[in-house]
Structure 1
């Protein structure tokens, strides 16, 4: 788009940037120098020009970035992640009125993690990318792979499953940071008011990265709460179910099925909404996981009044799937013509960790698909 290319300002000389930041008595990463030597931001934000195609990302001109820097000096830094507490942040881009920043230091450095500062005062800053290069690679691959695309109405849209994979691949340290936070938050934690706030703050980042390890952490925490009668426990269970409803992975199905039978009406309702969200997250109409949900979960939801089970742990939760009006749908999925649907059904049975499913899984060792046979072998090893 010529109008977009013309909106970039000519790059600055290294000396110009150094003079501009000299009075700050801090260093910006070398990646910032490289960025502004290439282009001095964009002259103005043009919604018609780049809003659709670049998802509202506006590279700030350097003088405006300096103005934003002084505004951020008044930001409540006790609200930033602990690794950034008391540090100075240099803004370089805006994203839907939010700000992307890097860390300033008292020594020269090659790069810095990219921090996202939301415009809403109720939200806390979050780590977004490992560095500027990782950010560029993430966005570039997201567009090139079709994870970001322009829909029929001309608006930018995304396939969340794909964007999460790309995000994890190019920003492994940020992903590991949030996994570590999850372990600290959800393992052996007391149900204080602090944990409720922490869950609320970390949930968006967990959903953005969608790391499969988080599913196990959240599922185990949910199971530790089902026998706890308190408002805090109910809120945590609802939040966990809401988060897992945004992970397009067969491993979330046993927990969400369990939540359909939770003693709390709020949790049950959230579980139904989560299954509805999983359908919306499907990258295509013929997605194997979507077909599995339609064939196995939908009949369960439509006949919930028949089942009256309150789960007491993850094993019991998974075994709800083995109830008479559900297991037949799972077994039927094992006969599906699509090998990927059969694979998802095998994975689901493996998650039950129940000897009752050994016989059908053994039969799947003779499936014509090597992928299904391999999955069945792994599922059996898990149960045994």
Structure 2
């Protein structure tokens, strides 16, 4: 049995034991042939994981509101509805089609809540899995899980350990600490996906939008207590950000510092202390204190004589933070 089928069965067994009514209306699965026939209507390919989940259950139609959620706060779309929605996104006018893509790749919505989705990114012939992304009501696309298997393993373990549970009002609630533990265990490669995405969509100079995308991804990852390990990939991204920070013609210095904060890039943040914009110098000083970069205290202290009072105030606040951290 594959990992994803095992995880799906764990989710099913937990609900069957504790809240059987919540899975009573979940549709039976389809045959591989039926699934392949429906997926063939797409203009792109999806991973084998998609077929495996629909063999387990064909979910609900998109026009039937399902409040018996079992996938956190979303329900599984049936494959017909998922394909129809994805084709609409791809075949709409160019701007709409571009919005519903992840690093240039189209996506298949698999889970839905109101007008939010979790979607699976298209694959090429060499890929066996692909990221699961969250699409908000304003069509912001951010990473959520490394792949469908990681998602199901995270949810299955969370239900079993109390990371996810049914509250008094009958809705799914979350114990953040326990959920984060399961998330870290099963999504170890998600940082690399975020950095790779940034490198792919910022072939020249990143825009404020691409910086915002990376910041949102890394913010989510850090919220779950996942470290961003040193790697050649991280070095490439930091170098791009550092070059932008040092380019006085570039107007997104503050956004760069926010991303460097999520990456815990101390050396690059120290360079931010020399930036011509007072807001960047102030934020860089604050950030170095926030991430407890004690090796930067000397550099931050030098800005006590900054010509801008607002920077002096930020530096004093940062130095006080350093003292409190010790």
**What band does the TM-score fall into relative to the shorter chain?**
0.5 to 0.7
Deviation at 1:66, TM superposition (A): 1.6
Deviation at 1:159, TM superposition (A): 4.2
Please give the root-mean-square deviation of Cα atoms over the aligned residues, in Å.
Answer: 4.4
TM-score (norm 1): 0.53
Deviation at 1:90, TM superposition (A): 1.9
CA deviations on 1:338-374 (whole Å, 9 max, x unpaired) are: xxxxxxxxxx54xxxxxxxxxxxxxxxxxxxxxxxxx
Q: Quick one: structure 1 residues 320 and 130, their matched pair in 2 at CA, closer, same or farther if it must change by over 3 Å?
A: closer
- 1:201 maps onto 2:222 in alignment: no
The residue aligned with 1:117 is: 135
Deviation at 1:151, TM superposition (A): 5.2
Q: Quick one: structure 1 residues 161 and 182, their matched pair in 2 at CA, closer, same or farther if it must change by over 3 Å?
A: farther
CA deviations on 1:267-288 (whole Å, 9 max, x unpaired) are: 99xxxxxxxxxxxxxxxxxxxx
The residue aligned with 2:82 is: 65
Hey, which of these two has a bigger chunk of helix by percent? 1
Describe the SS at the equivalent of 1:42.
Answer: coil
Contact persistence 1:30–1:109 (CA under 8 A): no
The residue aligned with 2:111 is: 93
Deviation at 1:109, TM superposition (A): 5.6
Specify which of 66, 88, 91 is matched with residue 46 of structure 1.
Answer: 66
Deviation at 1:11, TM superposition (A): 1.4
Q: Distance in 1 between matches of 2:200 and 2:309?
A: 29
Q: Quick one: structure 1 residues 55 and 309, their matched pair in 2 at CA, closer, same or farther if it must change by over 3 Å?
A: closer
Which structure 2 residue ranges, 5 or more long, are not aligned?
1-18, 229-260
Describe the SS at the equivalent of 1:10.
Answer: coil
- 1:56 maps onto 2:77 in alignment: no
Q: How does 1:196-345 map to 2 (within 5 A)?
A: 196-210=208-222, 211-213=226-228, 217-230=264-277, 233=280, 237=284, 252=292, 310=315, 321-322=322-323
Describe the SS at the equivalent of 2:58.
Answer: strand
Deviation at 1:39, TM superposition (A): 0.9
The residue aligned with 1:376 is: none
The residue aligned with 2:31 is: 13
Specify which of 25, 28, 36 is matched with residue 54 of structure 2.
Answer: 36
Q: Distance in 1 between matches of 2:264 and 2:146?
A: 24
The residue aligned with 1:167 is: 183
CA deviations on 1:215-245 (whole Å, 9 max, x unpaired) are: 662454443323434166269659969xx97
CA deviations on 1:103-160 (whole Å, 9 max, x unpaired) are: 3346486432223222214x2x223222211110011222322333455666544344
Contact persistence 2:60–2:76 (CA under 8 A): yes
Describe the SS at the equivalent of 2:27.
Answer: strand
The residue aligned with 2:6 is: none
The residue aligned with 2:98 is: 77
TM-score (norm 2): 0.61
Which structure 1 residue ranges, 5 or more long, are not aligned?
186-191, 246-250, 269-307, 327-347, 350-384
Q: Distance in 1 between matches of 2:178 and 2:285?
A: 26
CA deviations on 1:306-345 (whole Å, 9 max, x unpaired) are: xx7836xxxx9568644xxx5xxxxxxxxxxxxxxxxxxx
Q: Distance in 2 between matches of 1:68 and 1:230?
A: 45
The worse-fitting range, judged by mean Cα deviation, of 30-39 and 87-96 is 87-96
Higher relative contact order (CA 8 A, sep 6+): 2
